[in-house]
Homo-oligomer: A and B are copies of this chain.
């Protein structure tokens, strides 16, 4: 098992509070999305969970043990960071061996087979890789680490659509093979919405919600049909997005569909469907400020 408990966690840099009194439970063996805008505090939270930075208050435990300077607990987690913390000038195959020294369950055969699948040349040096292949290399090490908790920070940066698709499929296969606690922090939300069970949304250093994806998506719906009828329907309702195309509109409405709505939808000959997680996220985390 590997249950992560975060209580009253705060992180300040000077006068700037990056994380504000965050309390959160990350249940074992589920796939979480960690969603938030740039600068919301996602990476800070992941850095605190893995004891890479000091908190200004509060604490993180994994299976009830404090993570601070606790190598036993930290060995249960592999964190794929945006930063490259690998030794300079190392070849990828040596990077695999090097990782195995810290993560004894590292699966070398799996790492090599994934490298082949993704077209990663293990004889290259890590620093020679493009942005996309650098992400792929880090993905492979994380998936092969054998850790009970895998944290991914922007794993698909620079990946083309084919490689992103392969990554999502590989992640699910890995999870099915041996369930583990997975946290995916990503900006490409819609693509991962089907593999996430729960979603943690962070806004301005605070947790907006920690919900089942199904529950979250149940808080809104999509209604579509001819433009005038959709316009008629949305009057007086909380519409957060409209997509238009040649006389046709699709509107995202906050709320649940009650009986009155149902009748109106039938009368206006509209269709309803599930809302997109990414559109809901944009609504929940919106509003611009000059930074």
User: Chain A interface (Cβ within 8 Å of chain B)?
Assistant: 36-39, 116-121, 130, 132-133, 157-165, 187-191, 194, 243, 245, 278, 281-282, 285-286, 288-291
Contact B187 A160 (CB under 8 A): yes
8 contacts between A and B (CB under 8 A): A37-B162, A119-B289, A119-B291, A157-B157, A160-B187, A161-B189, A161-B278, A162-B286
Measured between beta carbons, the chain B residues less than 8 angstroms from A162 are 37, 282, 285-286
Contact B160 A37 (CB under 8 A): yes
Copies of the polypeptide in the assembly: 2
Contacts A38-B160, A188-B188, A194-B243 given; 5 further ones with Cβ under 8 A?
A133-B291, A157-B158, A161-B187, A161-B188, A162-B285
Q: How far is the CA of A286 from the CA of B163 in the complex (A)?
A: 9
Contact B291 A121 (CB under 8 A): yes
Q: How far is the CA of A189 from the CA of B191 in the complex (A)?
A: 11
Q: How far is the CA of A38 from the CA of B159 in the complex (A)?
A: 8
**Given known contacts A132-B38, A194-B245, A245-B194, is B161 in contact with A116 (CB within 8 Å)?**
no
- Quick one: which of B117, B157, B161, B194 contacts A281, CB cutoff 8 A? B161
Closest residue on chain B to residue A188 by CB atoms? B188
